[in-house]
C-alpha cells in the first residue's frame, strides 16, 4: 500500500530547534508517522514531550546552543548513546539578525553563520557517518525562499541559507549512491517566533500576504507533511532537492 511508504516505524529522528515553530510541527509529524524523536534546543519544552510520549513514541531532549561549536559536536554522540541510532536528521534550528546591510555587525554575521550553516555542516557529517555504516538515512535541511533571494535587512541569514542549499547539494552528490538522501525544504514567511518582528509590522505583514499567491502566511503545520515525505521511503529516489513550501512565493 502506498501509505506504508510514508511510515517511519522503528526510526529515530533528530530535530534541531524542535521545541517551537516549524521544528516542533515537524517533530510531532515524524512521531505521528512512527518515529522516536530526539529534540535539540537550548532548553526543554514539556508540551512537546507530552505530545510525543502520548503518541507512544520514544522521546529525549538534548540541551545545546548550536552557536557554540563544541556543544554542536556533542549532539549526535549524546543522542546515539541514549537512543541507540540516528536514522533521520532535520537541521531546523536557526537564528536571524535584522539590520541594514551597511550596519550588519560582524558579531551578528558570525553567530548567524555558526548557527544556521556551520552547525548543519557538523551535524550532517556526524549523522552521515552513522548512516554510511548502515547504507541508509535521511537528512533534511531547512533552507528558506531567501536561499533564492536576498531578502531585506537579513544579510547573514540570506547568506547562510544560500550556503545551506550548497551544503545540501554537495552532501547529496557524495552520498546518493550510498543510500543516504539529503534534501532541503525552503519555507517562505511562516508565523513563528523567527518572524515576529515582521508580523508586528502591519504594512510589511500585509505586503507579504498580498505578494503570496496563496493569500496568507504559512503555518508550521503546512511544512510538516513535506518533512515526513522527505524522511520516509516514499522519497528514496529524491536527492539534492530544495523543495519550496511557500504558498507560491517563488512562482510569483
Condensed to tens digits (0 to 9), the pLDDT of residues 148-166 reads 999 999 999 999 999 999 9
CB 128 within 8 A of CB 180: yes
Q: How far apart are the first and last CA of the chain?
A: 36
Q: What is the DSSP letter of 7?
A: -
Which pTM value belongs to this model? 0.96
Cell numbers at 241, concatenated: 532537492
Q: Which of 41, 61, 12 is nearest to 119 (CA)?
A: 41
Query: What DSSP assignment string belongs to 59-114?
Result: EEEEE--TTSHHHHHHHHHHHHHHHS--SEEEE---------GGG--HHHHHHHHI
The pLDDT value given to residue 196: 82
Can you tell me the distance from the alpha carbon of 114 to that of 72, in angstroms, rounded to the nearest whole number? 10
Q: Which residues of the chain have pLDDT under 50?
A: none
- Catalytic member of 28, 112, 127, 157: 157
User: Could you tell me the residue ranges of all domains in the chain?
Assistant: 2-243
Can you tell me the distance from the alpha carbon of 252 to that of 246, in angstroms, rounded to the nearest whole number? 11
The pLDDT value given to residue 142: 98
Q: Which of 179, 63, 72 is nearest to 120 (CA)?
A: 72
Architecture of domain 2-243: 3-Layer(aba) Sandwich (3.40)
Q: Would residue 237 show up in a list of annotated catalytic residues for this protein?
A: no
The pLDDT value given to residue 203: 87
Amino acid at each position: 500500500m502506498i501509505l506504508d511508504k510514508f511510515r517511519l516505524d522503528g526510526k529515530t529522528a533528530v530535530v534541531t530547534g524542535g521545541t517551537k515553530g516549524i521544528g516542533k510541527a515537524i517533530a510531532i509529524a515524524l512521531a505521528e508517522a512512527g518515529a522516536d524523536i530526539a529534540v535539540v534546543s537550548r532548553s526543554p519544552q514539556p508540551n512537546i514531550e507530552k505530545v510525543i510520549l502520548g503518541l507512544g513514541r520514544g522521546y529525549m531532549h538534548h540541551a545545546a546552543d548550536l552557536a557554540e561549536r563544541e556543544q554542536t559536536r556533542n549532539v549526535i554522540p549524546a543522542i546515539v548513546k541514549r537512543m541507540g541510532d540516528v536514522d533521520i536528521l532535520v537541521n531546523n534550528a536557526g537564528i536571524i539578525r535584522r539590520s541594514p546591510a551597511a550596519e550588519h555587525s560582524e558579531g551578528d554575521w558570525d553567530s548567524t553563520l555558526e548557527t544556521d550553516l556551520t552547525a548543519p555542516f557538523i551535524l550532517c557529517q556526524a549523522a552521515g557517518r552513522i548512516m554510511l555504516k548502515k547504507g541508509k538515512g535521511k537528512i533534511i535541511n531547512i533552507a528558506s525562499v531567501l536561499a533564492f533571494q536576498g531578502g531585506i535587512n537579513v544579510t547573514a541569514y540570506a547568506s547562510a541559507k544560500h550556503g545551506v542549499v550548497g551544503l545540501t547539494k554537495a552532501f547529496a552528490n557524495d552520498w546518493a549512491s550510498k543510500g543516504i538522501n539529503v534534501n532541503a525544504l525552503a519555507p517562505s514567511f511562516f508565523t513563528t517566533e523567527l518572524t515576529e518582528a515582521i508580523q508586528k509590522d502591519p504594512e510589511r505583514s500585509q505586503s507579504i500576504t498580498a505578494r503570496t499567491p496563496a493569500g496568507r502566511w504559512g503555518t508550521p503545520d503546512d511544512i510538516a507533511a513535506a518533512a515526513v515525505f522527505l524522511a520516509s521511503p516514499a522519497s528514496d529516489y529524491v536527492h539534492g532537492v530544495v523543495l519550496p513550501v511557500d504558498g507560491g512565493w517563488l512562482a510569483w
